[in-house]
Amino acid sequence: MNYLTREARREAVTDDQLNDLIIDCIQDIKGKDIVKLDLRHLEDAPADYFIICTGDSSTQIKAIGDRVASRVRDETGLKPYHVEGKQHGRWVLLDFYQTLVHVFYHETREFYDLEDLWSDAKTTEYENI
């Protein structure tokens, strides 16, 4: 059993490790159009990273959010600080402090267009699997 405090576990997991795990979780559930925005060099950014993806249905969107939360908890001991949107399944947000995960339904992603809103961020795109 892991007896480290939450803070010690958080320090043991790098941002890159957390982000890679989140992206792997999304790919497990066949999330599409995965993008990571690196916001660290931008003033007033709400987090260091956004990870954004699209799901094809409310069921898939909820499943992606659940998979991210459970694997991150199981593999790192970290839990999201806050989760929003699971009841509606159009946009699920998981807040891991330094990384915000946005799981969108296609039309909702187009409406909010976070990639354009934060277009000064360094963008990394990932393959659909």
Domains of the chain and CATH, by start: 6-125 (3.30.460.10)
- Residues of the chain with pLDDT > 70, as a percent, come to 91
Measured between alpha carbons, how far is 111 from 105 in angstroms, rounded to an integer? 10
Q: Could you tell me the pTM of the whole model?
A: 0.90
- pLDDT at position 2 over 80: no
Q: Which pLDDT tens digit goes with each residue over 80-123? A: 999 999 888 899 999 999 999 999 999 999 999 999 999 999 99
Please give the structure tokens belonging to residue 77: 């001991």
Which stretch of DSSP H or E encloses residue 123? Answer: strand 122-125
The 3-state DSSP class for residue 87 equals coil
Angle 93-15-86 (CA atoms, 0-180°, nearest 5)?
Answer: 15
For residue 48, give Cα distances in angstroms to 52, 72, 85, 100, 118. Answer: 13, 18, 21, 8, 12
- Residue 71 to residues 6, 94, 98, 113, 117, Cα–Cα distance (Å): 16, 13, 17, 27, 29
How do residues 27-44 score in pLDDT, each as one tens digit?
A: 999 999 999 999 999 999
Calculate the average pLDDT of the chain.
92
CA angle 72, 111, 105 (to 5 degrees): 45
Q: Select from 97, 82, 87, 76 the least CA-distant residue to 18.
A: 76
